[in-house]
Structure formats: C-alpha cells, structure tokens
C-alpha cells in the first residue's frame, strides 16, 4: 500500500487508497461522478435503454459471471470506452452487454473504478 497526502486543497490527511483521505474520498467521488453523469443519465433514462436492458435480461436471464448460477438483475457494459468517445451506438450494442446478478455487477464496477483511481 502506498501512502500519499490527500489531493483535496488544504487537507493534510493521508490517502491510503486513491487520491483522497477517508474524509474526502467519497465527497470527491460523488462530485466527479455527478459532474460526468448528466450526459449518461439522459441516455440511461431513455426508453431505448429500458428496451435494450429488457431484451438482454430476457435472452440471458442468468448471471453470466463464470461459475454464478443466480438470476441476472443488472446489465453491464463489458467495454465502457464508448463513454469517453461518446459512441452511443456502442451503448446499446448487444455484444457489449453482459447480464449479471447485482453482487457481480457491483464487484466488477468497483474493480474498474479502482483501476481508474475513482475509489
């Protein structure tokens, strides 16, 4: 584990994981997440996503995580580079979607966010 000073201006706290101390980590994550979300929320809230998500869950109703036999509740984007590029077609591409139970979707998302230094 590498330790560093918190990236929050004026804070002398220690960042044990990521860029911020425990006091600022969640605040900064939420701030960055909310700042980036408006353009994604407007798509996730569209009827098109509900149709694509429903189609995926109907055709792959069980969690596709290797070794899991739970029912799928979430639809995961395997490759989410479309977010940076703004490629909305990739957002609804069935080959880029994976049906997952909530636990495995959370596990994958947390790991991805850790790799990117978001948590």
Which of 74, 71, 53, 52 has its CA nearest to residue 61? Answer: 71
pLDDT recorded at residue 28? 64
As beta bridge partners, residue 76 has: 98
C-alpha–C-alpha distance, residues 34 and 105, integer Å:
20
- 21 neighbors 15 (Cβ within 8 angstroms): yes
Phi, psi of 81 (to 5 degrees): -65, -20
Residue extents of the structural domains in the chain: 1-45, 47-119
pLDDT recorded at residue 13? 79
Please write the tens of the pLDDT for every residue from 77-104.
888 776 666 566 767 788 889 999 999 9
Q: Does residue 47 register a pLDDT over 70? A: yes
Please write the tens of the pLDDT for every residue from 11-46.
777 888 777 787 777 666 666 655 555 556 667 777
Residues 6 or more apart whose Cβ sits within 8 Å of residue 36: none
């Amino acid at each position: 584990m590498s330790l560093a000073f918190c990236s929050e201006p004026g804070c002398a706290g220690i960042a044990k994981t990521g860029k911020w101390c425990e006091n600022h980590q969640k605040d900064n994550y939420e701030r960055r997440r909310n700042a980036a979300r408006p353009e994604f929320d407007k798509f996730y809230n569209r009827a098109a996503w509900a149709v694509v998500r429903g189609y995926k869950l109907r055709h792959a109703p069980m969690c596709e995580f290797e070794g899991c036999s739970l029912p799928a509740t979430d639809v995961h984007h395997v490759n989410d580079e479309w977010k940076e590029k703004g490629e909305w077609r990739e957002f609804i591409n069935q080959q880029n979607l994976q049906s997952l139970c909530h636990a495995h979707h959370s596990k994958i998302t947390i790991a991805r966010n850790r790799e990117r230094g978001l948590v």
